[in-house]
Amino acid sequence: MTTHDVTEKDSRELPWWSNAVVYQVYPRSFQDSDGDGMGDVPGITSRLPYLASLGVDVVWLSPVYKSPQDDNGYDISDYQDIDPMFGTLDDMDTLLKRAHELGLKVVMDLVVNHTSDEHDWFKASAAGDSKYTDWYIWEDPKPGHVGGQPGAEPNNWGSYFGGSAWQWVPERGQYYFHQFSVKQPDLNWENPAMRQAVYQMMNWWMDRGIDGFRMDVISYISKTYDENGRLPGIAGSLIPERPAGPDGFDSPFDYCSDGPHLDEILQEMHREVFDGRDGYLNVGEAPGISAERATHVTNPQNKELDMLFLIDHMGIDQHGPAGKWSVTDWKLSDLRKIQARYEQIIDEGGWTSLFFCNHDQPRVVSRWGDDSSEESRTRSAKALGLLLHMHQGTPYIYQGEELGMTNADYTSLDQYEDLESINMYHQLVGAGVLSSDEMMNSIQRMGRDNSRTPMQWDDSIYAGFESADAHTQPWLGVNANKATINAQAEQNDENSVFSFYQKLIALRHTNPIVSHGHWNALDIDDEQVYAFTRTLDDHELVVVINVSSELAALPTQTAAVLNNTDHTNDEHGDGLHESKVILSNDSAQGVIEQINAKSLNPWTAFVYEVK
């Protein structure tokens, strides 16, 4: 049995979400109830029994607020209304009531790093209204330049969606800062009145019955200023401008992530919104926050956030001049090292989120699995699910992940809707950073539309996302593999990816080792087999996954743990037993045979109870 020192985690009572599973719904792609080609709130409500049958505990909704939909709802024009394309506030109330009847909690996306440029706050700020003057980040043109002309931008920062991060507003005579789309101006979190307006809105939703928030890029809200209150590279700033990259811009990331006032803002938010409430969940998307910092932010004693989405592991296959679009091979040892840092957060008193997929990432079975055949797709989808969910932390399932849905089958740029993919294609190809073919290959592998294709409910013409006689085609093309990958077929198949996820979720709910047990990696340098133990008191599980499409030798340390088992309570006491294989994507007998042969078949994954 693996032993470990008593940690801060061991000495505290863990909250309800320590063994919960969260399911992310991307509303426009989940279920269309009225045949207009867009998913909606009533559609989500109609599918809540499906989510309850899967066994999840929490439903996280991507934005359904009123929005011009420049960035698919992450550009909000009214935080306290539902966009007509999704329904009404009454529809939202119905969803909350039905979810709670089914034992499901509902978490809403909170996008407060920025608003839409069509939000009333921004309109007033752009017009010079004294109340809202500094609710956004405004700067004068570069000295000696005419505002709105090339080169007059306050510094050389570029937007993550392409082009300059500064937009000229003639009526105000200044530029506003936007890290993302030009229609997503960043809020100024240095302004206390603005912060209070956000907290009032959050309380309004909590009082209405939601169960918490997933906070979009919350690590970006505090920016770095010099001692005189100037951003880096701005005229007179004590922090100099850095050289531009090959696309003509410098990234603002280092100065806009995990800024100097993030902790105090999150603590203030906790006091103003969450103190005195029970049963909620607040999770933050946290690019730029290290594992060490995450331990502080998620430690309950600091009263900031319950958990964070850390994204270091999302970059293991992205290395080169084009950032995420420079897609490269990846190493299993890199993933293991990053996951070990995440696990350490929990051992040191914090908590972490577990995810491979979301609305911004491609489908993991296409990215790190093998979708070249139906057998390898099914086996690798189960294997990657087992790898993720058997860690400590709170696992998140993105819609369709429980079916093993794959990347989109698009072949040309005009099939894509994602603003980031389209803008970066023109910017990177135009600057000669990537060729057209290279960029299209990158979009096909990493573009955000890969995860946004309509949910595949059945094998009908629109995959059950909307009725076959709908007058409007879905907003994004349905994947042709709906004929074989769909919920209807998988719910009736005990060997499907869906059924495997049901068992995986049930194991977390019923076996305290999965949520509370200590994690310890085995064979840390192996590039094919990912193995670890989970230990609680005198019980231990061994988790083993061949993360490859090739035969893999059972690593030495893993083999020793599996075979150095106390069998005194076994029926015969003479070695490994099928009954000890408590979950696998293979037969229990097949697992034992592979262990004895010290050779794992492609994508074999199992959990073995040692003691």
Are the CB atoms for 403 and 498 separated by under 8 Å?
yes
Sign of CA dihedral 34, 38, 40, 43: positive
Phi, psi (deg, nearest 5) at residue 494: -70, -15
Are the CB atoms for 535 and 513 separated by under 8 Å?
yes
* Catalytic residue chosen out of the listed positions 32, 211, 216, 247: 216
Give the burial class of 579: count Cβ atoms within 10 A of its Cβ; 0-12 exposed, 13-18 middle, 19 or more buried.
Answer: exposed
Chain length of the chain: 611
Phi, psi (deg, nearest 5) at residue 27: -55, -40
* CA 113 – CA 136 distance, rounded (Å): 10
- Phi-psi category of 116—alpha, beta or left, where left has phi over 0 and alpha has psi -120 to 50? beta
216 among known catalytic residues: yes
User: In sequence order, what are the beta bridge partners of 531?
Assistant: 522, 544
* CA 502 – CA 20 distance, rounded (Å): 13
Q: Read out DSSP for 358-399?
A: -TTS--HHHHTS--SSHHHHHHHHHHHHHHHHTSSSEEEEET
* CA 223 – CA 510 distance, rounded (Å): 43
118 among known catalytic residues: no
* CA 74 – CA 67 distance, rounded (Å): 8
User: What ranges in 257-393 are assigned the alpha helix state H?
Assistant: 262-269, 291-298, 332-347, 364-367, 374-389
CB atoms within 10 A of CB 373: 10
For residue 307, give the DSSP letter: E
Distances (CA, A) of 474 to 31, 33, 418, 456, 463: 10, 12, 15, 12, 10
Are the CB atoms for 221 and 189 separated by under 8 Å?
yes
* Catalytic residue chosen out of the listed positions 70, 258, 285, 523: 285
Are the CB atoms for 302 and 294 separated by under 8 Å?
no
Q: Which residues are catalytic?
A: 216, 285
